[in-house]
Amino acid sequence: MNKLITITSTSKLQSLFWSFCIGLICLSASVVSEAQSFKTATEYNDFIVAKQHKIINTNIEYISKLVHADDFETIENHRKEVIKKLEQTIAEMQALPPYKKNTAFRDETTKAFEVYLAAFSQEFATVNLNKMDSEESFENMEALFKAQDAAEAKLSTAGLKVEKAQSNFAKKNNMRLELSENSAAKDMLLFNELNTYNRSVFLQQFKVSKANHAFFTAVNKKNTNTMDKERKQLTNACTDALSNLKTIKPFKNEDDSYQKSGEELVNYYLQLSQKDFKDMVQIIQNKDQLTQQDMDRYNEIIQSFNKESQRLLKQFNQTSEDLLKKYIPKIDGRV
Higher pLDDT, 49 or 266: 266
Q: How far apart (Å, rounded) are the C-alpha atoms in residues 166 and 177?
A: 9
How is residue 95 annotated by DSSP? T
pLDDT tens digits, residue range 150-162?
777 787 788 778 8
Tell me, what's the pLDDT at 178? 66
What are the E-state strand segments in 78-218? 175-178
Higher pLDDT, 21 or 190: 190
Q: How far apart (Å, rounded) are the C-alpha atoms in residues 223 and 220?
A: 8
pLDDT tens digits, residue range 178-221?
654 445 556 656 766 787 788 889 999 999 999 999 999 999 98
Tell me, what's the pLDDT at 210? 94
Tell me, what's the pLDDT at 143? 81
Angle between helix 39-68 and helix 138-172 axes, rounded to 10 deg: 170
Helix (H) or strand (E) holding 270: helix 257-274
Q: How far apart (Å, rounded) are the C-alpha atoms in residues 317 and 323?
A: 10
Span 254-269, average pLDDT = 95
Q: How far apart (Å, rounded) are the C-alpha atoms in residues 71 and 137?
A: 19
Tell me, what's the pLDDT at 164? 86
Tell me, what's the pLDDT at 333? 37
Amino acid at 196: T
Residue 241 has pLDDT above 80, yes or no: yes
Residue 19 has pLDDT above 80, yes or no: no
Question: Angle at the Cα of 139 (from 135 to 142), degrees rounded to 5?
Answer: 85
Span 86-97, average pLDDT = 93
Residue 114 has pLDDT above 60, yes or no: yes
Question: Angle at the Cα of 101 (from 95 to 103), degrees rounded to 5?
Answer: 55
Q: How far apart (Å, rounded) are the C-alpha atoms in residues 144 and 133?
A: 9
Residue 58 has pLDDT above 60, yes or no: yes
Tell me, what's the pLDDT at 267? 97
| Entry pTM | 0.72
Q: How far apart (Å, rounded) are the C-alpha atoms in residues 264 and 33?
A: 54
Tell me, what's the pLDDT at 189? 62
**pLDDT level of residue 37 (50, 70, 90 thresholds):** very low
**pLDDT level of residue 331 (50, 70, 90 thresholds):** very low
Question: Angle at the Cα of 125 (from 49 to 134), degrees rounded to 5?
Answer: 120
What are the E-state strand segments in the chain? 30-33, 175-178
Span 67-80, average pLDDT = 80
Span 303-311, average pLDDT = 95
How is residue 255 annotated by DSSP? B
* b/e 169-204 (16+ beta carbons within 10 angstroms → b): bbeebebebeeeeebbeebbebbbebbebbbbbbbb
Q: How far apart (Å, rounded) are the C-alpha atoms in residues 21 and 25?
A: 10
Q: How far apart (Å, rounded) are the C-alpha atoms in residues 310 and 70?
A: 21
